[in-house]
């Protein structure tokens, strides 16, 4: 019997258990391993190890496995945008683009070319069909929920996708893998950006965006150090600043509070909740709506401006060009241009958009200087 569902097997425990659950449910299933990043000669790419683990898992489960190389699609659809955003001083989220452009586009096309009707992945999320439309819902295990990274999916993708882990706790997934003798049962979860892996982020980015040293200043213009390039840093970051004792300042940690790419100046302040980091409003690029349209021209909901953030109440206004104005009900820390603002109604993910700017005081000042 040909496979009706193709599971994206990554060589990790989550996709391994997704395949296990579908097989045990009697679903005609096969695996597909995606290579999304070409070997760059650094010796840090884990793709071959992951491929071997994916083959071993499918062998253990008695499932056929297919292979596809999407590295060129990843480069043009994800990585070029990633570099352009960093060069502009923004902080992109490539995992969101990877899901939209590769895992739920090229992977889905490949599965259909193999004769399958749908795909499955090891993401922690749920899909429900109600009221004539597909809804993307948070996972039962809120600590692992990945709907933030899936908010760019639409009705065609959700109609053709299964998330077998959506109702499970991570500990239960590990137990199922161990009980089935899967070789990935104790494998460490991957962290960080997929194509960077465990390597040094600054060294990696420096291959594509050459370092240009500049000043580190406080918002009032006091010079407190130097930096290797403003695009290596993001709002709210504490690590890597290498600021020593500063005369007249307390011995307290420093945090990035702003970036002036044009003048190559990095701005810092002391205190994790510095007022220079706080904003109450954000504006976005054109939004994507999972249901096809916003719930109303103006509505209340909750938002996340970064992964694993607690829900924050807000009021959303949809502009004529599809962009959003978002007023938070309480001040937010380090809302970062380039990151995703994702909207929720309870457990349902409504969609989201890329953050274009905020009313943080330093951002407004830098905008005036650039005008």
pLDDT digits (tens, 9 = 90+) for 245-296: 888 788 889 999 999 998 999 999 999 999 999 999 999 999 999 999 999 9
Domain 277-370 sits in CATH at: 2.40.30.10
Domain-wise residue ranges, the chain: 5-179, 211-272, 277-370
- CA count, 13 A, side-chain hemisphere, 18: 29
pLDDT digits (tens, 9 = 90+) for 120-143: 999 999 999 999 999 999 999 999
CA angle 355, 87, 365 (to 5 degrees): 55
Identical fold for domains 5-179 and 277-370, yes or no, is no
pLDDT above 90 covers a percentage of the chain that reads 80
The CATH H-level (homologous superfamily) assignment of domain 211-272 is: Adenine nucleotide alpha hydrolases-like domains (2.30.30.280)
* Residue among 98, 301, 314, 349 flagged as catalytic: 98
pLDDT digits (tens, 9 = 90+) for 192-240: 666 566 667 788 888 888 888 999 999 999 999 999 999 899 999 998 8
- Correct CATH for 5-179 of 3.40.50.10470, 3.30.420.40, 3.40.50.620, 1.10.357.10: 3.40.50.620
How far is residue 170's CA from residue 163's CA, in Å, rounded to a whole number? 14
pLDDT digits (tens, 9 = 90+) for 287-316: 999 999 999 999 999 999 999 899 999 999
What per-residue confidence (pLDDT) applies to 196?
60
How far is residue 77's CA from residue 134's CA, in Å, rounded to a whole number? 26
What per-residue confidence (pLDDT) applies to 250?
84
How far is residue 103's CA from residue 118's CA, in Å, rounded to a whole number? 12
* Residue keyed to tokens 């299933």: 29
Global confidence as pTM: 0.93
Closest CA to 46 of 10, 84, 5, 2: 10
pLDDT digits (tens, 9 = 90+) for 1-27: 589 999 999 999 999 999 999 999 999
Q: What's the mean pLDDT in 319-324?
A: 98
pLDDT-wise least confident of 67-81, 171-185, 322-336, 338-352:
67-81
Structure tokens at 85: 């955003």
pLDDT digits (tens, 9 = 90+) for 326-337: 999 999 999 999
**Catalytic (active site) residue 349:** no
What per-residue confidence (pLDDT) applies to 85?
94
């Amino acid at each position: 019997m040909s496979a009706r569902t193709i599971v994206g097997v990554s060589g990790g425990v989550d996709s391994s258990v997704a395949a296990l659950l579908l097989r045990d449910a009697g679903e005609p299933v096969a695996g597909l391993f995606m290579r999304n990043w070409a070997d760059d000669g650094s010796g840090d790419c884990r793709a071959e190890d992951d491929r071997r683990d994916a083959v071993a898992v499918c062998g253990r489960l008695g499932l056929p496995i297919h292979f596809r190389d999407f590295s060129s699609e990843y480069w043009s659809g994800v990585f070029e945008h990633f570099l352009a955003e960093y060069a502009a001083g923004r902080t992109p989220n490539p995992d969101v683009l990877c899901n939209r452009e590769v895992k739920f586009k090229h992977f889905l096309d490949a599965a259909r070319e193999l004769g399958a009707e749908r795909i499955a992945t090891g993401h922690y999320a749920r899909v429900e069909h109600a009221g004539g439309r597909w809804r993307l819902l948070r996972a039962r295990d809120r600590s692992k929920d990945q709907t933030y990274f899936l908010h760019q999916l639409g009705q065609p993708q959700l109609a053709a996708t299964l998330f077998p882990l959506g109702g499970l706790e991570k500990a239960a997934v590990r137990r199922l893998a161990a009980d089935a003798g899967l070789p990935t049962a104790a494998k460490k979860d991957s962290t960080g950006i997929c194509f960077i892996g465990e390597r040094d982020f600054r060294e990696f980015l420096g291959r594509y965006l050459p370092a240009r040293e500049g000043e580190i200043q406080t918002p009032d213009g006091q010079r407190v150090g130097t930096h290797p390039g403003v695009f290596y840093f993001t709002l709210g970051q504490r690590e890597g600043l290498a600021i020593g004792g500063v005369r007249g300042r307390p011995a307290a940690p420093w945090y990035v509070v702003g970036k002036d790419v044009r003048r190559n100046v990095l701005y810092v302040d002391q205190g994790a909740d510095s007022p220079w980091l706080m904003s109450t409003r954000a504006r976005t690029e054109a939004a994507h709506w999972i249901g096809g349209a916003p719930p109303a021209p103006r509505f209340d909901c909750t938002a996340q401006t970064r992964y694993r953030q607690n829900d924050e109440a807000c009021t959303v206004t949809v502009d004529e060009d599809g962009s959003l104005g978002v007023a938070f009900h309480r001040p937010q820390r380090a809302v970062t241009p380039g990151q995703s603002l994702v909207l929720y109604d309870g457990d349902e993910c409504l969609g989201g958009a890329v953050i274009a700017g905020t009313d943080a005081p330093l951002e407004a000042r830098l905008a005036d200087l650039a005008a």
